[in-house]
Amino acid sequence: MHKHHRALGLAATPSGTRGGADIAKQKPVQPVTLLRPHAARRAARFFVEKFPGRSLYAVKANPSPDLLQILWDSGVTHYDVASIGEVRLVRETLPEAVLCFMHPVKAEEAIAEAYFDHGVRTFSLDTLEELDKITAATATDGVAASDLNLLVRLRVSSDHAKLSLAAKFGADPHDVKPLLMAARQASDALGICFHVGSQAMSPAAYAEAMTRVRAAIVEAAVTVDIVDVGGGFPSWYPGMEPPALETYFAVIHAAFEDLPISYSAELWCEPGRALCAEYSSIVVRVEKRRGDELYINDGAYGALFDAAHIGWRYPVELLRDEPSHVRPMAFSFYGPTCDDLDHMAGPFELPGDVKAGDYLEIGMLGAYGSAMRTGFNGFGATHTEIVADEPMASLYTAVQPRRSNVVTL
């Protein structure tokens, strides 16, 4: 993380005492990423204290070492890693963390390094071929490992989610029985996992998936030690106002209690977005206005990949010295690169008099925003500031989404 840099025109105000409006007053030339550690701590404590099982942070959502440390310090001890790069990162950052390699398709070399060099014992799979790969990679002198936690991933519906994850992974129904039986023989602890899709807008997504879990257990007649309901827990975005997370937890717990499983079976989940979305936002400058199009200095190849490529709408605010009394209107954004694909259709609602030189805060970018940033076309560098104000919306406090789209500096 960077302190204020004079080249950007930022004053040396004590870190941690500001909000987005304070940053905009300093007229930064480049985008400034705002970090809210208190929001990440709050989200982590919420899951640790209220989810009726164990919460694994899905590292892919935001692999920042600073964030990993915040979550660890807040009680998150298990981490869902999807690559050997993430395995190495989390092991280096958090030497005592429990790592679970939950990508269903892995290189044999990655499995072996994770198992022998980094102490990983939990792996997911969705085919017999992947099971054979795991058992071969973790064997010692031809002797199979006896300490594996193997989680068979089922294919379930993403109908209740804003972003489907139903096509790429998950065992087909006719393959589940033999796969569970084979995994049972190869594992110390056998689990079943699934993913209902990203930003699941209804707890029914988990209820329906757990019905599929129940059917799989009954058909295979195996003892299951772990049920992992995956990720998909939502955050707040314009047009995507989910129910309270406690409602999701209650539905999951009721379905888990109804499963024919081991009396000592564990319930897991893998929140990513829900733990880190509120962690950061970004302050950008409007470089040009053309009708209802705003050219800003961050975009599709920066923190706004999802806004460009899957039409994700983020909350936005105009940061200005004098309040605007002009009626809001819908805008789209162009990013700073020379690429037409650097376009965020929105709509993003802002006062109708927004103009070049104005600053905007774009919120809820802690999930995937930083993780997917590139340096394409020479853009992408941002400074980072710790701020103390609240995120634009929160599922963990009584903070309501800000109804005004203007913050007075």
Known catalytic residues?
338
328 to each of 133, 177, 281, 403, how far by Cα in Å? 56, 56, 21, 11
Q: Is 386 exposed, middle or buried (0-12, 13-18, 19+ CB in 10 A)?
A: middle
In the chain, how many H helices and how many E strands?
11, 19
Cα(120)–Cα(115) distance, integer angstroms:
5
Please give the C-alpha separations between residue 120 and each of 138, 173, 188, 196, 335, in angstroms, as whole numbers. 10, 28, 14, 25, 40
Buried b (16+ CB within 10 A) or exposed e, 164-188: ebbeebbbeeebbeebbebbbebbe
DSSP type of residue 304: T
Give the C-alpha separation, 135 to 137, whole Å.
Answer: 6
E strand or H helix at 320, and its extent? strand 316-320
Residue 41 · residue 67 · CB < 8 Å: no
**Nearest to 279, CA basis, from 384, 349, 147, 190:** 384
Alpha carbon distance 341, 215 (integer Å): 44
User: How far apart are the C-alpha atoms of 26 and 392, rounded to whole Å?
Assistant: 21
Provide the 10 A C-beta neighbour count for residue 318.
Answer: 24
